[in-house]
Structure 1
Amino acid sequence: MPIKSIKVRLGLLSIIVLTGTMKTLGQANDTLLIRQLAPVTVSATRLEINEKRLPAALTVLGGGRIQIGQPQLSLFESLGGVAGLFAQNPDNFSQDLRISIRGFGARAAFGIRGIRLVIDGIPESTPDGQADVDNLDMGAMRRLEVMRGPSSGLFGNAAGGILNFQTENANEMSLLEGQVTVGSYGLRSYRFKTGVQKKKFQYVFIATRNQSEGYRALSHMESTILNLKLRYDFDSLTRISILANYGNSPVADDPGGLTLQQATENRRQAHPNNMRFLAGESVAQGRVGITFEKTMGKHLIFARAFGTKRDFANYLAFQAAGAGTINRTFAGASFQYQFSQKFDLIGYRFRLGMDVESQGDTRRRFDNLIGERGKLTFDQLESFKNIAAYVTQELTYQKVTMLVGLRSDAIRLHATDYFLTDGDQSGKRQFSRLNPSVGISLEASSKVNIYTNLGTSFETPTMSELSNNPTGTGGFNPDLNPQQAVNYEIGAKTYFSQRLRTDVALFDVEVKDELVPYQITGQAGRVFYRNAGRSRRQGVELSLNAVLAKGLTLFSNYTYSDFRYREYQTTTGKFDGNVLPGIPKHAAQAELRYFTPVGIFAIAQVRHASLLYADDANAVTANGYTVVNLRVGGQKTWGRMHIEPFIGVNNLLDAAYFQNVQINASANRYFEPSQGRFWFGGVKVGIK
């Protein structure tokens, strides 16, 4: 069906529904808008605490910010609302969304690196610090907590920040709900939800099917995502949950990076080598987890166990060892004990815990014979085991809150080489690390809280980074070492007249052995890593959220990032004082949301990023950009039936910019163009 016809039909449907006189579902009145700005209790710290008293920078996005009027195709749609966070690559589903917080994660060759992802208490990030979001369904999320800054004292390896997701519960859902979304470049998305709570038992099931032809050539993708949550409350203090997730993406093509000349000539083309070698990937992943929580007066016990199986295959844009497979198993368990006590004016809580996680990757590489696997060139079994113990303590006295954390990690890596025609490159690596953190928050007045914190983090290279050995042999790269960082931060959180909220954070991060990506000519798409000596990251994060008038809310943020190498030299040059590539110095977003008493809504969003560098030498830049997004819709009910039509456009002004930059790319293939003006629309129908 042509996009023009789709837009006309969706527009007519919206007019018919929104001009009706039916009872409005959940009218967006002032009380609801004010509630969006109020501080809430968060769990990203592993010790539940009101965010107002938390001595750290944290942003909370509710389900309305994530879902209403959105295609819900990617986490990227919502992340612009978080200061200090920069996201790239929303349109290349072969390489996954890339997220960085204060520079952590910017170096990722694919997926999310350096940032911990947790979903309903189950870690999505593997022990070696890698997270993929191809099995993440934003239509299932009711809340996202983003804590910024090094947090290895809480979550261990690669904790430069935390993304803590909570999925929908049955008592917040319709009995049945269906949604259809269509859009430009062949987007088709179908979602079905059901949730039932009966006495002490509840279940939630969500199924989503996505497909798109993509803006560029060789950008086709298909995916199916299933989520199941079962929960039983023995009583108000004891519950058990079973969480299951399955994602299958049989095809996600990769158009690859272009040179600036190629991007100028035709932004929609794929690189010729990617077309020739049919670059892309397929992946299937299943996960099952169980959590148990019991409160006994001053005591709380939390336990979890989970297992994940992931099968991955890809084709890169070259022949020699250009096809690969990874068969991964990832499992773990955790036990936590919490104690709370009140001593007159002093409150005390602590949580003691242990995490045990194990990851095993069977990694094979073959020659890429035009989308077919040729001879085997690499066969290696890699394991990553992590045992950790931690304690988090909270002390409150009148208007002062102190959080102190300490975590010890013992990590063992092993590579068993099964491809012995070039010798046995089996090897071992081991690391241990103790990470402290401390933060103090002061309620200076009923409207202002100020805080400061000091924390550390470390990042071991992932197994993919270690096994991409520039010598071309098996085993692990012996010259690649963990990255270490110390974060200093001071900030303030203000709440004025319940209608205005501002947050400000100033940070200084000292990084040693920064892990830096680079590519080798003839192997475009394969990324290698080396350590820079030292770097420094300084920045400011600001957010201002306000209820401007009845039904009208503003959410805005701005980030200033001054990230530079202090000591870094390679065979190609000395880069002391250069700006770290992949991060813009200035980034901002403003979003106006208007909800009328009769259920009609309109949301306007402006996102801006300044130019950024694509290489360590700061010789190549990607242009800055400003993007305007709009969406309108409505919410109505007839008795038990709820309907929500919506229509929107992203990149309204058809800005030409780069949605991803490949850092230190070979053959000048730095740039992946963004898609142009993107229309979408859909309708959600639910039965209460």
Structure 2
Amino acid sequence: MKHLYLFFFFFSAILFSQSQNDTTDLKEVVIKADSEIQSDFQSDANVSLLNRQDILRGDQSIITPILNQIPGVYMQQGGLNTNKINIRGIGARAQYETNRLKLYYDNIPLTTANGTSTLDDIDLTNISNIKVIKGPQATEFGAGLGGVIQLKSNLPKKETINSGLIFGSFDYLKQNYSLSQATEDKQIYLSYNNLSSGGFRENSEYQRESYFLNSKWKLSENSDLQFLGQFTSMKGFIPSSLSRTDFENNPESAAFTWAQAKGYESYDSGTFGLNWSQHYDEFYTQNTSVFMNFRDAYEPRPFDILEDQNIGFGIRHVGGVQFSLFEKAAEIKLGGEFMKDDYDVSTFENLYEQNNNQGSLQGEKISDLKQNRQYLELFSTLKIELNSRWNFKFGLATNKTKYEISDRFSTGENAQNGNYDYDRVWLPNFVSQYQFSDNHKISASISRGFSVPTLEQSLTEEGVFNTNLKPEKAWNYEVGYQSKWFGSQLLAEVNAYYMNVENLLVARRVDEDRFVGINAGSTIHPGIEFSFKSNLDLDESLQIQPYFSGNFNFYEFDTFVDGDDNFSGNDLTGVPDRQLNFGLDAVIFNRLYLFFQTNAVSEIPLKDANTEFTESYAFSNLKLDYRFIIFKEIQVSLSAGVNNMFNEKYAASIVTNAVGFGGSEPRYFYPGQGRNYFGGFRLSYNF
């Protein structure tokens, strides 16, 4: 604490000493211009946007509290390496991964053919803004059930060198260095990030290094070529979940077996892609991407040791033509996406109990499987402008997914080999928007989406693939209202939707920390989402942006029979039925930035029987950031903040349907971190 007080003293001294300096060069960092609210108003229906200021408002360790500002999005964070995202309840039943949504960086997919996404491989400093499309309305991205998260690149507009350091409680340290170059015919951005944490729990140390290159070259007046390269090396120990007794009385502890095995996960991963974009006059545009990804992972767990390697490649193309249809302005887009991944998955005995308290020790091989998975998606959209206020958009996508399994361990009748596929699906989409005044518009949509089982869901307790699993499918119905008030100073949005999911994929617990996927019926997902955000220029020395958002869900199992148990009519497990977010951003004298956010979450059902629940909670984060110019070319930023400032005890993530083995309590809870502090500085030199 002594160092923190010194930091605040130094911070305050600079604030007063610099308060009269020229601020002309700092105007580009205004928190929320009226033009951005206007841009949000003009966006497509059911699209949420986060700008760079939103993304970097915290300690930059993970995007959880930022994404959770978006109504209908709920990200759980069991640790820096244990997180999952669900959108409108889709993905809530995933145990330790994010699936059922698609992740892109610009036009390059970051989601594997297996359907899993790792958002934190891209450091937050390498993102300029985030676009979230909720539900199966994203025809151009395959119409997944959960939706799409698209990360936008932060290509530079000038030549800059940046250096940043953030430090905090529990030995948290993040270093960031970047170099930008921009000329008339090229833009280059190169960065290095190193993030480490001791963790507040036993067996929760974390280390991640990442290298990132993004460049764009002007090939001609109408043509650009973008190259993206990203490499991440991560090792994170796993404390795992706790029983209710340990969660309430000893949240810093790790699960006993995970502590004994010193369980962790580590991997090297990378994504590389080329995107060629071109426009021919004002009527035709095209984007074509080729990409590859790889992942080499090792994960010692108490029940086994998992080795898996994956390498994939693919191509994506979207072309658009603008034309006149019955004297109405129209645009048609045609495209497709092909991806192929090769997975090698092996498991070994973990002999940690025989290793003299030294942690995991690899034993004999238990299984050795190879899966080749590929999909082909084709899509088309037609948008018609009936007049300046009313438009229709029709979309149709189709997907064909197949895979081949090779068992390289078992022989004879026990071997699992063969070619399998899922039935082709057709995914229509209809959206209409009507702007009945300059400040008010409504929208309505009907869309269909699907998601195939992931590799982890497909593995049975014997370590073989369950080839009988079926993809989830759903129809989504939605209406929305969006309005501006007081010019462009207040934006209000309300959406109501209803989704019914068939062939629901759920996780059945078969052993401690081991789950298998099953199809278990259907769910219904009705909900209401709302958000209000404003930009108020009170005078030249003070800008404030209050915002308020939330959602009310009424998700339940429609038909869900698991063995002798009938859970039909119960609330959907693993997702809160209420989320509220309140925040206030402010700029004082165009130098001092304040970011305050409160996130409130209702109780969450832990079991399909609805007999166990988490407690509701609310936590608040605060950050102060002071920026000033020295020597005319160097911008300095000093920051300090506190997370969970009122020291709320809460479950940051949960394991649904946990079962106690050997007389032990079920382990449902990943405890959230208590009050913790951080501070940092950043230097930017503009050539």
Pairwise TM-score range, normalised by the shorter structure: over 0.9
Q: Output aligned runs, 1:541-560, within 5 Å.
A: 541-550=529-538, 551-560=543-552
**Which of 79, 103, 106 is 2:92 aligned to?**
106
Q: Secondary structure at the match of 2:584?
A: strand
Which residue of structure 1 lines up, in the alignment, with residue 581 of structure 2? Answer: 589
Amino acid at match of 1:23: D
Q: Secondary structure at the match of 1:613?
A: coil
Give, in whole Å, the separation in 2 of the partners of 1:110 and 1:545.
33
User: 1:511: how far off?
Assistant: 0.7
More divergent stretch after superposition (25-34 vs 101-110): 25-34
Which residue of structure 1 lines up, in the alignment, with residue 685 of structure 2? Answer: 687
Give, in whole Å, the separation in 2 of the partners of 1:420 and 1:681.
54
User: 1:30: how far off?
Assistant: 8.2
Give, in whole Å, the separation in 2 of the partners of 1:294 and 1:165.
21
Q: Are 2:370 and 1:388 aligned? A: no
Give, in whole Å, the separation in 1 of the partners of 2:43 and 2:299.
46
Give, in whole Å, the separation in 2 of the partners of 1:39 and 1:597.
26
Per the normalisation by structure 1, the TM-score is 0.93
CA contact (8 A) 2:573 2:606 kept: yes
Give, in whole Å, the separation in 1 of the partners of 2:269 and 2:219.
31
Amino acid at match of 1:536: I
CA contact (8 A) 2:155 2:215 kept: no
Q: Secondary structure at the match of 1:275?
A: helix
Distance 1:428 1:615, change over 3 A: farther
Q: Are 2:270 and 1:277 aligned? A: no
Give, in whole Å, the separation in 1 of the partners of 2:15 and 2:138.
49
Which residue of structure 1 lines up, in the alignment, with residue 139 of structure 2? Answer: 153
User: 1:570: how far off?
Assistant: 1.2
More relative contact order, 1 or 2 (CA 8 Å, 6+ apart): 1
Which residue of structure 1 lines up, in the alignment, with residue 323 of structure 2? Answer: 341
Distance 1:650 1:29, change over 3 A: closer
Which residue of structure 2 lines up, in the alignment, with residue 576 of structure 1? Answer: 568
Which residue of structure 2 lines up, in the alignment, with residue 426 of structure 1? Answer: 417
CA contact (8 A) 2:545 2:584 kept: yes
User: 1:53: how far off?
Assistant: 5.8
Deviations 1:83-104 (A, max 9, x none): 1111101x51332x21111111
Deviations 1:196-217 (A, max 9, x none): 0123012100110000011111
Give, in whole Å, the separation in 2 of the partners of 1:10 and 1:329.
46
Amino acid at match of 1:284: D
**Which of 302, 311, 319 is 2:287 aligned to?**
302
Which residue of structure 2 lines up, in the alignment, with residue 192 of structure 1? Answer: 177
User: 1:315: how far off?
Assistant: 1.6
User: 1:67: how far off?
Assistant: 1.4
Q: Output aligned runs, 1:78-117, within 5 Å.
A: 78-89=66-77, 91-95=78-82, 97-117=83-103
Q: Output aligned runs, 1:661-672, within 5 Å.
A: 661-667=654-660, 668-672=666-670
Deviations 1:217-240 (A, max 9, x none): 111000001110121112442100
Deviations 1:438-477 (A, max 9, x none): 10000111111100001111111012211x213x152x21
Q: Secondary structure at the match of 2:429?
A: strand
Give, in whole Å, the separation in 2 of the partners of 1:478 and 1:538.
31
User: 1:425: how far off?
Assistant: 1.4
Which residue of structure 2 lines up, in the alignment, with residue 647 of structure 1? Answer: 640
Amino acid at match of 1:673: P
Q: Are 2:453 and 1:454 aligned? A: no
Give, in whole Å, the separation in 2 of the partners of 1:159 and 1:509.
10
Sequence identity percentage? 20
Distance 1:177 1:679, change over 3 A: same
Q: Are 2:280 and 1:289 aligned? A: no
Give, in whole Å, the separation in 2 of the partners of 1:330 and 1:157.
21
Q: Are 2:249 and 1:265 aligned? A: yes
More divergent stretch after superposition (267-276 vs 197-206): 197-206
Give, in whole Å, the separation in 1 of the partners of 2:186 and 2:659.
55
Which residue of structure 2 lines up, in the alignment, with residue 407 of structure 1? Answer: 397
Per the normalisation by structure 2, the TM-score is 0.93
Deviations 1:517-539 (A, max 9, x none): 12123xx3322111121110100
CA contact (8 A) 1:461 1:481 kept: yes
Give, in whole Å, the separation in 2 of the partners of 1:408 and 1:502.
34
Q: Secondary structure at the match of 2:42?
A: coil
Distance 1:196 1:28, change over 3 A: closer
More divergent stretch after superposition (103-112 vs 615-624): 103-112
CA contact (8 A) 1:518 1:665 kept: no
Q: Which runs of 5+ in 1 are unaligned?
A: 41-50
CA contact (8 A) 1:614 1:670 kept: yes
CA contact (8 A) 1:238 1:295 kept: yes
Q: Are 2:2 and 1:12 aligned? A: no
Give, in whole Å, the separation in 2 of the partners of 1:31 and 1:525.
44
CA contact (8 A) 1:129 1:158 kept: no
Q: Secondary structure at the match of 1:347?
A: strand
CA contact (8 A) 1:390 1:408 kept: yes
Which residue of structure 2 lines up, in the alignment, with residue 33 of structure 1? Answer: 33
Give, in whole Å, the separation in 2 of the partners of 1:84 and 1:32.
22
Give, in whole Å, the separation in 1 of the partners of 2:321 and 2:239.
53
CA contact (8 A) 1:232 1:241 kept: yes
Which residue of structure 1 lines up, in the alignment, with residue 433 of structure 2? Answer: 441
Amino acid at match of 2:33: L
Aligned length: 661
Give, in whole Å, the separation in 2 of the partners of 1:159 and 1:228.
31
Q: Secondary structure at the match of 2:368?
A: strand
Please give the root-mean-square deviation of Cα atoms over the aligned residues, in Å.
1.7
CA contact (8 A) 2:594 2:623 kept: yes
Give, in whole Å, the separation in 2 of the partners of 1:413 and 1:230.
34
Which residue of structure 2 lines up, in the alignment, with residue 46 of structure 1? Answer: none
Distance 1:32 1:531, change over 3 A: closer
